């Protein structure tokens, strides 16, 4: 996407080089301006402009490309649900389970979900930008608990909450540290069998099967009571 949009504005860059530049720029920007510049004196749009410039190079068309990319990635055009996401969400929502999002992301997340037609799945949406802290900071989970109560009038007890993510540090261990339950989707294969992770799933399809079995068992228990 970066290379394609760049070419529209006269920036000729090989996709492989752009990708490598993006990875380096991403790390650098997160070191110099964590959480999209929230507390370092730049706006989140400026943050992305700087990253696009690092990715495409110092070219007169880079800024125009950045502004277009910011718009694209603020809508469904720049995103798609990962494999297995929609069947899993349908399964959980159909079982009357409240769902939420906790993401290290800028303020565009809610509009993106609306654009994708996915906002109706979620009771709350927490971004690190709104919370003022990034995962794995425990405060982002507390922020989410307070947001849930504000929106529903109900307490969110971490012992009854399950946080699902694809990062051992940012998602799995951070959720456990605040008393939440946690599951890890290890699609990258980075978590080995030696890791102390109990709830590890290959992908969202496997996770959905797990939930279907758990929910079926719960329903049978309720019928017996």
What local confidence, expressed as pLDDT, does residue 194 receive?
42
What local confidence, expressed as pLDDT, does residue 97 receive?
95
- Predicted confidence (pLDDT) at residue 82 exceeds the cutoff of 90: yes
Count of CB atoms within 10 A of residue 214's CB? 11
What percent of the chain lies above the pLDDT cut of 70? 91
- Predicted confidence (pLDDT) at residue 46 exceeds the cutoff of 50: yes
What local confidence, expressed as pLDDT, does residue 149 receive?
98
CA distance 61 to 45: 17
Q: What is the pLDDT of residues 104-157, one digit of tens each?
A: 999 999 999 999 999 999 999 999 999 999 999 999 999 999 999 999 999 999
Domain range summary for the chain, segments of one domain joined by +: 2-72, 81-224
- From 53, 54, 80, select the one nearest 65 (Cα to Cα): 53
**Range 81-224 classified under CATH 3.40.50.1000:** yes
Split at pLDDT 50, 70, 90, the class of 186 is: confident
Within the chain, what is the greatest distance between any pair of CA atoms? 70
What local confidence, expressed as pLDDT, does residue 220 receive?
38
Split at pLDDT 50, 70, 90, the class of 191 is: low
CA distance 4 to 116: 22
Mean pLDDT lowest among 166-170, 173-177, 195-199: 195-199
**Range 2-72 classified under CATH 1.10.150.720:** yes
Token couple for 80: 């798609």
What local confidence, expressed as pLDDT, does residue 215 receive?
81
CA distance 122 to 164: 14
């Amino acid at each position: 996407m970066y290379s394609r949009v760049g070419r529209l504005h006269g920036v000729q860059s090989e996709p492989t080089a752009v990708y490598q530049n993006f990875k380096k720029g991403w790390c650098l920007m997160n070191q110099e301006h964590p959480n999209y510049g929230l507390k370092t004196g730049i706006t989140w749009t400026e943050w992305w402009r700087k990253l696009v410039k690092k990715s495409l190079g110092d070219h007169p068309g880079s800024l125009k490309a950045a502004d277009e990319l910011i718009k694209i990635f603020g809508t469904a055009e720049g995103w798609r649900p990962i494999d297995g996401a929609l069947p899993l969400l349908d399964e959980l929502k159909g079982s009357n389970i409240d769902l939420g999002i906790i993401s290290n992301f800028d303020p565009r997340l809610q509009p993106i979900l609306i654009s994708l037609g996915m906002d109706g799945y979620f009771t709350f949406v927490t971004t690190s930008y709104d919370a003022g802290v990034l995962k794995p900071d425990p405060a982002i989970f507390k922020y989410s608990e307070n947001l849930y109560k504000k929106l529903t009038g109900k307490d969110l007890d971490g012992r009854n909450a399950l946080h699902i993510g694809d990062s051992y540090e940012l998602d799995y261990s951070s959720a456990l540290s605040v008393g939440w339950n946690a599951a890890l989707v290890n699609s990258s294969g980075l978590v080995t069998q030696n890791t102390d992770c109990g709830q590890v799933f290959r992908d969202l399809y496997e996770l959905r099967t797990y939930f279907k079995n758990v929910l079926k068992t719960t329903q049978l228990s309720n019928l017996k009571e």
